[in-house]
Structure 1
Amino acid sequence: MLKSSIILLSLTTIAMMQPMSPTQAAEPSKTSPAIHVDQLRPTVVMGKLGQPLGKVITISGKVVSGDRSAKSNHPDDLALQVLQVNDQALATPVTLPWTVFTTAAIKPPKLHQAFKYVGYETGSFTGVPHEAFKVLSAVASREFHFESRFEVLQEDLRIVQNRADLMRSPQQRVRLVGQYVVTRRKPDPMSTGIPGFKGDYLTVQIVLQDGTAIALNSPLIKQSLRSAEEVKQYEGQLVEVTGRLESLPSPRKEQRSLTFIVPESIRLSFQQ
């Protein structure tokens, strides 16, 4: 009896050691763990930057080539290689496509340019599921997947609101905050002026908190004249001008140099 038990145990052990046939093996799961879409609304979804999707953050890094072209300098073909989030270095750089918020005024960056943007990571599903080509003819497409991107709200530039801020920002791109003040004057009859121009010449200064006045563009060029439409929209309002500060030497030593800003964009300010 003991001998029979030993033989049976040995046969069982050998059988357990034999490889399973394909029909016997359990098929691996073809689907990833699933969650219902309604679970996303109350759930904090973390993005590639290590922050919740939709959280406003500051990122910095450099502009690199996107997926479309390695040579194009068009904004749609560029991506953001993020090196820092909220001034904290990432362990590994993260590259994201980007878009500009609808009402934001952002100067398009150049390839290899450094950037510092305020915005938030978001995303959406893109591509085409394979099953779609069982219904229609196949076309070139990307696999259906979720893709993160960074939504840019504004550049993180120094804010200039008074002369002290101004002195710290010579020849720099800044966000100038002040009151939009208009000067109207009749064209000088002794000068040729602008051919066909009718009405007043409109020039603008941005008056800061302490009364310091910064001209929009150099008064020596025609671009210093502002349009009637712009003046109607902003006159007397607190505005934010994004642009580069420049200066002209004063003809008199006892006078300060004339500082002006070359504007890239103007909008109503949310500063208090």
Structure 2
Amino acid sequence: MAYINKIFNQNFLEYASYVIKDRAIPHLDDGLKPVQRRILQSLFDMDDGKFNKVANIVGHTMQYHPHGDASIYEALVNLANKDIFIDKQGNFGNTLTGDPPSAARYIECRLLPMAKDVIYGPEITEYTDSYDGRRKEPITLPAKIPLPLILGAEGIAVGMATRMLPHNFIEVLEAEKAQLRGEPFSLQPDFPSGGIIDASNYDEGNGKVLSRARLDASDPKRIVVRELPYGISTESLIASIENAARTNKIKIGAITDFTTDTVEIEIKLPRGVHTKDV
């Protein structure tokens, strides 16, 4: 019994603390999870103004991150697709359709100049030993702007989880200036996929936000989805519509996805049904 108590009182608590601090939950100072911070540090290390193969960046990041190349690759693609700190070249997938990116050996990226201005400052960065003691890695990066609000984050740890919604870059900067001046401000989430939101119950981040697709019903015989709800891809939205049609909740004639860089899902209505009736 004493052995069991030790497992729960010591080993499990150490594991839980590790997952919370070193895997799943972003740090409030720079809004980054450890794998994201290590990717950016590797990009700083490798930066010469030229594009680097993602495979090389992943390999370099493994000097800091002990959890394998697959998790680094996925985190790098997700971070690059936020289009804030990383300049990408090649097929990084499509966040609107859910199409996957190309293999790491085919795509390239590099730091954007803003990353060096906003989050890089080795003179004021506190470092610690990497997992094997061979290198130094930053505890946090000295971000000049509130990245947790801009990037947003999701993470599930042990007994703890987080979900911070992304916000508009310019609106966050304006709110930051207002805060420094002691002026009142209002800040609400802003999603890269667009959509219509109801933030009446947002409660400064402690409540909830309802997100809906934006529809174009100007044609009486078809409906076009122009923007998506947050966290929904065109593939999952189409599957949901088709499922509703199969269960006779809605009537549609055909549905076609024309999405590329912008969302365009065309829903043709059957004979005798018009957009005003749907």
Structure with a larger share of its residues in strand: 1
Q: Same fold (TM over 0.5)?
A: no
- TM-score category, normalised to shorter length: under 0.3
Q: Normalising by structure 1, what TM-score?
A: 0.19
Flag the structure with more relative contact order, 1 or 2, with Cα contacts below 8 A and sequence separation at least 6. 2
Structure with a larger share of its residues in helix: 2
Larger Rg: 1
Q: Normalising by structure 2, what TM-score?
A: 0.19
